[in-house]
């Protein structure tokens, strides 16, 4: 605790957040904006927090998460970063973009998570962009084996080290400190200030819950700031029963990283898996409707894997909440994913009202 002229300065509610190394890539606050035409269609009040507009290589939530990983990598003197993720991972594309911007090498391990993926799925969207951005891409066959994927990535790092490189591995499986989630602790502070400035009286945030870094970071940040704003995670990867304990663990780990008491109570963890079926990266009717509605009512692009499922959840929440509630859809990006689903998007475009 700092002292000045005998006065005690209160500890920062976000603990060590602002003292951690961070590569500043997200720039000024992303827009928080109303969605009036979509609100009318949903029968409730909807706004969007536009993290899809964060300023590098098509943006998205991973920009905020990567600020802390790249901050750590630079602090260690790394010259190459490594990451593992699904084929069509936005995380991998943005790692390649940021590595390019900072002058670092980049190795990506692409995991096969979506069954029956075709040539478009493997060769367009993020997969195409990460090659353009200069990354070396490796393939990993088993998409649901997180420990195995981490081990394979570490083997690539060992090889680089033997060649005299200084690799930094971005770990994504459980059992590692969720450094990236700190990006959404910062975002919680940014969003809280925007909610106040806009005079939104009864906000309720809808956010994709995949690894849970975004959801847990935002929730922990809001609660640490003393904000009771409800946050509903829309499951995009696994059912709510499996996601809930993961999320609770993430929140505790984030609080430990911040060196604060865990401010998240069990009842704070809200999840819905109504929009997950038939599974990760697979479309369903409400998701297809959300893609068409966002595009045709607001000129806003959403992707089939994450943001359209989350928007389907947000639309449902807005339509079923009290009239004074404002549902804030956290738009986490994913735009290049649209091109990997070109045949499905073409069908939606032809059949949407």
Ligand X SMILES: *Cc1c(COP(=O)(O)O)cnc(C)c1O
Tell me which residues touch ligand X (CB under 6 A): 60-62, 90-91, 208-215, 306-307, 332-334
> Over the Cα atoms of the chain, what is R_g?
20
Length of the chain equals 353
Which residue sits closest to ligand X, CB atoms considered?
334
Tell me whether residue 143 or residue 160 sits nearer to ligand X (CB atom).
143
Dihedral over Cα of 171, 187, 128, 306: its sign: positive
SS3 108: strand
Identified catalytic residue from 89, 124, 209, 211: 89
Q: How far is the CB of 77 from ligand X (least distance, A)?
A: 27
Q: How far is the CB of 145 from ligand X (least distance, A)?
A: 17
Q: How far is the CB of 130 from ligand X (least distance, A)?
A: 13
Percent helix, percent strand, percent coil in the chain, to nearest 5: 50, 15, 35
Closest C-alpha to 253, from 192, 174, 332: 174
Q: How far is the CB of 251 from ligand X (least distance, A)?
A: 13
* Distance, CA of 14 to CA of 24 (rounded, Å): 18
Q: 169-175 contacts: CB < 8 A, separation 24 or more?
A: 169/81, 169/82, 169/83, 170/66, 170/69, 170/81, 170/82, 170/83, 170/95, 172/83, 172/84, 172/85, 172/91, 172/146, 172/211, 173/146, 173/147, 173/149, 174/146, 174/246, 174/249
Active site residue 89: yes
* Distance, CA of 158 to CA of 149 (rounded, Å): 14
Tell me whether residue 160 or residue 233 sits nearer to ligand X (CB atom).
233
Tell me whether residue 14 or residue 86 sits nearer to ligand X (CB atom).
86
* Distance, CA of 335 to CA of 244 (rounded, Å): 27
- Contact predicate 202/322, CB 8 Å: yes
Q: How far is the CB of 132 from ligand X (least distance, A)?
A: 18
* Distance, CA of 183 to CA of 203 (rounded, Å): 21
Q: How far is the CB of 123 from ligand X (least distance, A)?
A: 19
- Active site (catalytic) residues: 89
């Amino acid at each position: 605790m700092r002292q000045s002229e005998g006065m005690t300065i209160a500890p920062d509610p976000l603990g060590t957040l602002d003292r951690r190394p961070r590569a500043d890539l997200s720039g000024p606050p992303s827009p928080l904006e109303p969605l009036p035409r979509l609100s009318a269609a949903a029968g409730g009040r909807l706004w969007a927090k536009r993290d899809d507009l964060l300023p590098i290589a098509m943006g998205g939530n991973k920009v905020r998460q990567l600020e802390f990983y790249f901050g750590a990598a630079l602090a260690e003197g790394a010259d190459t970063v490594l990451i593992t993720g699904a084929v069509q991972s936005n995380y991998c594309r943005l790692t390649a973009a940021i590595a390019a911007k900072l002058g670092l090498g980049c190795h990506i391990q692409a995991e096969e998570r979506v069954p029956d993926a075709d040539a478009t799925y493997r060769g367009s969207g993020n997969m195409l962009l990460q090659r353009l951005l200069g990354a070396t891409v490796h393939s990993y066959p088993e998409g649901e084996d997180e420990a195995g994927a981490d081990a394979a990535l570490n083997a690539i790092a060992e090889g680089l080290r033997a060649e005299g490189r200084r690799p930094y591995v971005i770990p994504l499986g459980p059992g590692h400190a969720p450094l990236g989630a700190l990006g959404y602790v910062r975002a919680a502070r940014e969003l809280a200030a925007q909610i106040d400035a806009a005079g939104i009286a009864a906000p309720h945030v809808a956010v994709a819950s995949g690894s849970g870094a975004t959801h847990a970071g935002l929730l922990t940040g809001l609660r640490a700031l003393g904000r009771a704003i409800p946050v509903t995670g829309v499951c995009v990867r696994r059912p709510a029963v499996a996601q809930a304990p993961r999320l609770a663990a993430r929140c505790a780990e984030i609080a430990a990283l911040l060196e604060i008491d865990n401010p998240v109570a069990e009842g704070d963890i809200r999840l819905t898996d109504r929009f997950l079926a038939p599974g990760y990266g697979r479309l369903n009717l409400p998701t297809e409707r959300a893609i068409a509605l966002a595009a045709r009512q607001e000129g806003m692009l959403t992707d089939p894997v994450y943001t359209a499922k989350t928007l389907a959840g947000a639309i449902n929440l807005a339509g079923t909440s009290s009239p004074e509630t404002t549902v804030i859809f956290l738009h986490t990006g994913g735009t290049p994913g649209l091109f990997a689903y070109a045949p499905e998007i073409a069908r939606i475009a032809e059949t949407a009202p």
